[in-house]
């Protein structure tokens, strides 16, 4: 019985990772503004790296009052089989040069001259960013989501995990904007129907509480 369960888990995860690579390809071939490739997509599947991302997300949740939901997202990420990190390489310093005003500035030259936000605690991305370049990330996400639905793979999009990947040095140095696309192949999607206190009450915290409560007793009995 135990071997059957282990085999099922291995095959389930192998299927999820195979799907992740195909979904990555769909994101790569999505349209780009001006037909110029500038989105870099990295696949992260190692459990240890996913855990480091989740820990960083928990740390970031205390930097900005609006980021309190990062703890909930960290719980979801720990249940994911893989995550695609999508980075825009031209949105920070290379605007589209069409003076659209989408970024809130009159011309693209004004955009280039505008002082960027300083890097620091509570700052997500060093805007302003060229919004049309950022839209390339949306096109990539659309391609990924469309294929994930066809393949029957559960997914969610995360600003929090994208920011954590940036903080952990998992994105190209010149990237201006990053989002994450988490994937899972389980009987119940870990990205839906999340309780409000999922960041405080989840499988990990429950296990920690059990261990902390029972360990002193085991130690006194067997020492």
> Do both 223 and 122 map to the same domain?
no
**Strand, coil or helix: 132:** helix
The pLDDT of residue 34: 81
**Is the Cα torsion angle 204, 149, 15, 20 positive or negative in sign?**
negative
Q: How far is CA 124 from CA 25, 162, 166, 211, in A?
A: 27, 10, 9, 36
Q: Domain range spanning residue 169?
A: 2-192
> Do both 145 and 43 map to the same domain?
yes
The pLDDT of residue 6: 86
- In this structure, what CATH number is given to the domain that contains residue 42? 3.40.109.10
**Strand, coil or helix: 177:** strand
**Is the Cα torsion angle 194, 147, 52, 130 positive or negative in sign?**
negative
> Do both 44 and 98 map to the same domain?
yes
47 pLDDT exceeds 90?
A: yes
> Do both 123 and 28 map to the same domain?
yes
> Do both 72 and 180 map to the same domain?
yes
205 pLDDT exceeds 70?
A: no
> Do both 207 and 186 map to the same domain?
no
> Do both 64 and 118 map to the same domain?
yes
pLDDT band at 151 (very low <50, low <70, confident <90, very high): very high
pLDDT band at 223 (very low <50, low <70, confident <90, very high): very low
> Do both 174 and 80 map to the same domain?
yes
- Tens-digit pLDDT profile for residues 52-87: 999 999 999 999 999 999 999 999 999 999 999 999
> Do both 148 and 202 map to the same domain?
no
**Number of domains composing the chain:** 2
> Do both 136 and 47 map to the same domain?
yes
């Amino acid at each position: 019985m135990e071997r059957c369960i282990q085999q099922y888990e291995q095959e389930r995860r192998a299927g999820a990772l195979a799907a992740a690579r195909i979904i990555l390809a769909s994101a790569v071939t999505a349209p780009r503004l001006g037909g110029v490739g500038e989105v870099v997509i990295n696949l992260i599947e190692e459990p240890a790296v996913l855990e480091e991302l989740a820990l960083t997300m928990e740390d970031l949740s205390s930097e900005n009052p609006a980021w309190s939901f990062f703890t909930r997202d960290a719980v979801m990420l720990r249940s994911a089989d893989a995550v695609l990190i999508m980075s825009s390489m031209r949105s920070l310093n290379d605007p589209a040069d069409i003076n659209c005003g989408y970024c809130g500035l009159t011309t693209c030259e004004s955009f280039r001259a505008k002082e960027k936000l300083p890097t620091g605690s509570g700052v997500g991305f060093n805007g302003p960013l060229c919004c049309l370049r950022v839209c390339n990330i949306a096109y990539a996400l659309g391609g990924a989501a469309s294929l994930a639905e066809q393949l029957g793979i559960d997914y969610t999009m995360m600003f929090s995990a994208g920011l954590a990947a940036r903080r952990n040095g998992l994105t190209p140095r010149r990237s201006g904007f990053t989002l994450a696309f988490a994937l899972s192949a389980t009987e119940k999607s870990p990205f839906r129907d999340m309780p409000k206190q999922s960041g405080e009450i989840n499988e990990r915290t429950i296990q920690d509480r059990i261990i902390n409560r029972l360990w002193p007793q085991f130690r006194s009995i067997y020492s």
